[in-house]
Amino acid sequence: MSDPYSYTSQGRRPATALVLSGIWALLLTAYLLVEASPVILTLVGLFTLPALYDYVTNPRATFTLDATHMRWQTPRQQADIAISEIDHLRFDTRLDLSVRLTVVRPSGVKIRVPYPATPPHTEFEPAARTAGLTTRRHHFSLLG
């Protein structure tokens, strides 16, 4: 593999700002025009706090694959695995159509790559094969 593959994701996205603004505008409109209960609007507004937290703190996740190692880092986790310690990569498509990535070692130990650090499978899978890694696809499994 000549060039390392790298992927970076951030919590601050324009779509997050749009959705938050839209929800808060609807809540304000419901309060002003429909005279909705402030308690109910506050309870609904609480569900936006995790998205607001991600937008404000802007957590960064990185993933790299080079000729010798696979690395990822999120605010809570980091890992550095030698390519020689990887039996295969397992791509699981979930019912919500998200794809989860699991590193399977020769001993059978599975290491789940955190979702924020998981690169888009359409571009990462060919890069993994180029690096000499075996990939396996599993579609719509409930367990695994």
Helix (H, G, I), strand (E, B) or coil at 93: strand
Give pLDDT tens digits for 94-131.
Answer: 888 889 999 999 999 999 999 999 999 999 999 999 88
Q: Edge to edge, what strands does the sheet with 60-65 contain? A: 5-10, 60-65, 69-73, 78-82
Residue 118, Cβ density class (10 Å: 0-12 exposed, 13-18 middle, ≥19 buried): buried
Interval 55-75 mean pLDDT:
94
Between helix 38-46 and helix 14-33 the angle, nearest 10°, is: 170
pLDDT digits (tens, 9 = 90+) for 3-21: 789 999 998 889 999 999 9
At residue 47, does pLDDT exceed 90? Answer: yes
Largest CA distance in the chain: 63
Q: What percent of the chain has pLDDT over 70?
A: 96
- Residue type present at position 107: S
Alpha-carbon dihedral angle through residues 5, 8, 14, 15, given to the nearest 10 degrees: 80
Domain 5-9+61-139: top CATH class: mainly beta
User: Which of 35, 3, 5, 2 lies closest to 128, judged by CA?
Assistant: 5
Indicate the domain borders of the chain. 5-9+61-139, 10-57
Enter the pTM of the model: 0.76
Residue 103: CB atoms within 10 A of its CB come to 20
Supply φ then ψ for residue 138, to 5 degrees: -130, 120
What distance in Å separates the CA atoms of residue 86 and residue 83, rounded to the nearest whole number?
5
